[in-house]
Chains A and B, each alone.
Chain A
């Protein structure tokens, strides 16, 4: 049976959302909830770790679209990291790399936020 879990890790003012499993029309509300929780905690600098995501469909992609403005409007961002090639391919087909920064590793996504923080200070 397809399952989906999220776990949250805070590093200073960054939050890493680790995803695990399959994101489809059945499981995407859990992804939505993970983002809603961050907004409620005023955590807007997010790195999404796709290492353990095996599948995503348009319902999942829609969640990223729904939250990106909220995060950017609060001096944050959603940076995506560590996608398997089949998962990246779906983001790419829909042109998401124009709108989102996608990094090969979680560390690089974290580094990008850190560099931006240093540039701003």
Chain B
């Protein structure tokens, strides 16, 4: 008997900021196919874009020939996007959530991406194994 299958999609891109547009359109296309509301699609796109940007910067230190894997799964009214890299671990849970009022007062630049990811997503998980396989999972309900 065929197992119940949930819509699942994957994309592999090189670790260059020039690939961010490809990640955004991948998410847009498949989220639309699965009838996700425009506002939720925008949140998914922004969170994945920020997460991939962090991989380019912190996992691969701007090396542009490495791989970023992006998986999307739609199951039980929740969209899960998993970004996998093979660079240096970057655990977002170790980064404290900034106080935005203070942040603005200090006119600080950078570090806003993670704040946006946390604000926009319903769940954020990170795992890293000893073989430098890092997975960041973003979860968002869409119904």
Name A's B-contacting residues (CB within 8 A): 1-2, 22, 24-26, 55, 57-59, 61-62, 65-66, 68-69, 86, 89-90, 93-96, 98-99
Report the separation of the CA atoms of residues A66 and B104 in the bound assembly, to the nearest whole angstrom. 11
Q: Are A69 and B17 in contact (CB under 8 A)?
A: no
How many Cβ-Cβ contacts under 8 Å join chain A to chain B? 72
Closest CB in chain B relative to A84 CB, distance in Å: 10
How many whole Å from A106's CB to the nearest CB in chain B?
A: 24
What residue of chain A has the Cβ atom nearest to residue B18's Cβ?
Answer: A26
How far apart are the CA atoms of A69 and B104 in the complex, in Å? 12
A2 vs chain B, min Cβ distance (A): 3
A22-B21, A93-B120 given; 13 more Cβ-contact pairs under 8 Å: A1-B21, A2-B21, A24-B21, A25-B56, A25-B57, A26-B17, A57-B116, A58-B110, A59-B53, A89-B42, A95-B104, A98-B104, A99-B104
Which residues from chain A contact B39 at a C-beta distance below 8 Å? 86
| Chain B interface residue bracket vs A | 20 to 34
Q: Check A62 against B21 for contact (C-beta < 8 Å).
A: no
Is A69 within 8 A of B113, CB to CB?
no
Q: B133 contacts which chain A residues (CB < 8 A)?
A: none
Contact B110 A57 (CB under 8 A): no
Q: Does B85 contact A (CB under 8 A)?
A: no
Q: What residues of A have a CB within 8 angstroms of the CB of B100 in the complex? A: 94-95
